[in-house]
């Protein structure tokens, strides 16, 4: 019997879900791609629109489906739920999105116990933690998009300052995907050489990184392209068993003084999901900020009934 084709399911066909699906489709990442939304008409319309491009792409079977289609899925990406309005923080979305998540995760697990769940909905760290608890899945297979996007923004901005390709910049953001995130300046470098920024330049780059989503939401209502590319990057590392190091959100235990919380940290991602979290030798200031980020999220988690 031929091997089962890889299937990716995207739940939520809003700005993030459709851009992610389109990115996966253009790059022909998997033979089967399913779109699910509570608004079935929207999912159908998006699937139809993308399918009409198939003569130019090919090789992907794509349809608007139901939760039964999760049965054969290898990766289920969840982008469903409320998004930030201008002025709203990611944490402000928690009350709306936690009930949506209880419903969605129960529907997924009715049909599938083996897939990797990749969460993008905000607040992504808390919802990933909630997904772990609701699903009962192994922690390696519940992954949040974490600070992959923030790290990309950070590298882009450093690259722009230095006029160097962002792919050659080694830099990362860790902690909450949100207001308490932090840059790891102590380890940031270009080919092992110091970045040479003064305090004011560092501050400007980090503030622009942290506030990027607010700026984009204010300008165009939502962010979608870069998060879609970030999710595509995570999917590829899983499907191709690459072992790429990506700052996804994962369950941390005894990690830089932090336990029992999901936060963005450098993880080796392969077909098992998060294979390993890399130890980061943070300096004392970074460690304190990281612990503060964890405390903020743990206080929010404590209010939930999980």
The residues near 95 (Cβ < 8 Å, ≥ 6 apart) are: none
The residues near 266 (Cβ < 8 Å, ≥ 6 apart) are: 172, 174, 245, 246, 247, 277, 278, 280
Alpha-carbon distance of 265 to 174, in angstroms, equals 5
Task: Using alpha carbons, select from 26, 32, 41, 27 the residue that is nearest to residue 8.
Answer: 32
Task: Using alpha carbons, select from 148, 213, 180 the residue that is nearest to residue 299.
Answer: 180
Alpha-carbon distance of 80 to 36, in angstroms, equals 9
Alpha-carbon distance of 23 to 142, in angstroms, equals 22
Instruction: Tell the smallest beta-carbon distance from residue 89 to ligand 6V0 (Å).
Output: 10
Instruction: Tell the smallest beta-carbon distance from residue 284 to ligand 6V0 (Å).
Output: 28
Among 83, 131, 247, 250, binds ligand 6V0 (CB under 6 A): 83
Among 94, 100, 130, 205, binds ligand 6V0 (CB under 6 A): 100
Q: Verify binding: residue 222, ligand 6V0, rule CB under 6 A.
A: yes
Instruction: Tell the smallest beta-carbon distance from residue 228 to ligand 6V0 (Å).
Output: 9
Q: Verify binding: residue 40, ligand 6V0, rule CB under 6 A.
A: no
Nearest residue to the partner ligand 6V0, using Cβ: 14
Q: Verify binding: residue 295, ligand 6V0, rule CB under 6 A.
A: no
Binding segment for ligand 6V0 among 98-106, 154-162, 183-191, 289-297 (CB under 6 A)? Answer: 98-106
Binding segment for ligand 6V0 among 10-18, 49-57, 189-197, 236-244 (CB under 6 A)? Answer: 10-18
Binding-site members for substrate are: 84, 90, 122-125, 150-153, 223
Among 115, 118, 124, 169, binds ligand 6V0 (CB under 6 A): 124
Q: Which three-class secondary structure state does DSSP give residue 81?
A: coil
Alpha-carbon distance of 62 to 48, in angstroms, equals 9
Q: Verify binding: residue 178, ligand 6V0, rule CB under 6 A.
A: no
Q: Verify binding: residue 227, ligand 6V0, rule CB under 6 A.
A: yes
For the record, the structure tokens of 85 come out as: 């309005």
- Phi and psi (nearest 5°) for 35? -110, 130
Catalytic site includes residue 177: yes
Q: Verify binding: residue 17, ligand 6V0, rule CB under 6 A.
A: yes
DSSP sequence for 21-36? HHHHHHTT--SEEEEE
Binding segment for ligand 6V0 among 54-62, 160-168, 221-229, 286-294 (CB under 6 A)? Answer: 221-229
Instruction: Tell the smallest beta-carbon distance from residue 186 to ligand 6V0 (Å).
Output: 24
Alpha-carbon distance of 93 to 81, in angstroms, equals 9
Ramachandran bin of 221, using left for φ above 0, alpha for ψ from -120 to 50, beta for the remaining angles: left
Using only C-alpha atoms, what is the Rg of the chain?
19
Instruction: Tell the smallest beta-carbon distance from residue 81 to ligand 6V0 (Å).
Output: 5
Binding site for ligand 6V0 (CB under 6 A): 11-17, 37-39, 42, 79-84, 93, 100, 103-104, 120-122, 124, 145, 149, 177, 222-223, 227
Tell me the catalytic residues.
Answer: 177
């Amino acid at each position: 019997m031929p091997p089962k084709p890889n299937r990716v399911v995207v739940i939520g066909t809003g700005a993030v879900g459709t851009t992610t699906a389109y990115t996966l489709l253009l790059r022909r990442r998997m033979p089967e791609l399913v779109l699910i939304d509570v608004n079935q008409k929207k999912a159908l319309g998006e699937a139809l629109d993308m399918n009409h491009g198939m003569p130019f792409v090919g090789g992907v079977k794509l349809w608007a489906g139901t939760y039964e289609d999760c049965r054969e899925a290898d990766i289920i990406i969840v982008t469903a739920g409320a998004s930030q309005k201008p002025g709203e923080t990611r944490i402000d979305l928690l009350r709306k999105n936690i009930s949506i998540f209880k419903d969605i995760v129960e529907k997924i697990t009715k049909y599938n116990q083996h897939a990797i769940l990749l969460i993008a909905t905000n607040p992504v760290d808390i919802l990933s933690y909630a997904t772990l608890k609701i699903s009962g899945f192994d922690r390696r297979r519940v992954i949040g998009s974490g600070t992959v996007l923030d790290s990309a923004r950070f590298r882009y901005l450093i690259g722009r300052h230095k006029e160097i390709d962002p792919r050659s910049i080694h830099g990362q953001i860790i902690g909450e995907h949100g207001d308490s995130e932090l840059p790891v300046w102590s380890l940031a470098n270009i080919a092992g050489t110091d970045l040479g920024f003064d305090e004011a330049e560092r501050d400007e780059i980090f503030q622009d990184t942290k506030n990027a989503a607010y700026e984009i939401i204010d300008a165009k209502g939502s962010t979608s392209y870069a998060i879609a590319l970030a999710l595509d990057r995570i999917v590829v590392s899983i499907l191709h068993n690459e072992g790429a190091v990506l700052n996804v959100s994962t369950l941390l235990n005894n990690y830089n003084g932090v336990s029992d919380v999901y936060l963005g940290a450098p993880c080796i991602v392969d077909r098992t999901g998060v294979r390993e979290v890399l130890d980061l030798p943070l300096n004392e200031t970074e460690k304190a900020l990281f612990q503060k980020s964890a405390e903020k999220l743990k206080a929010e988690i404590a209010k939930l009934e999980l």
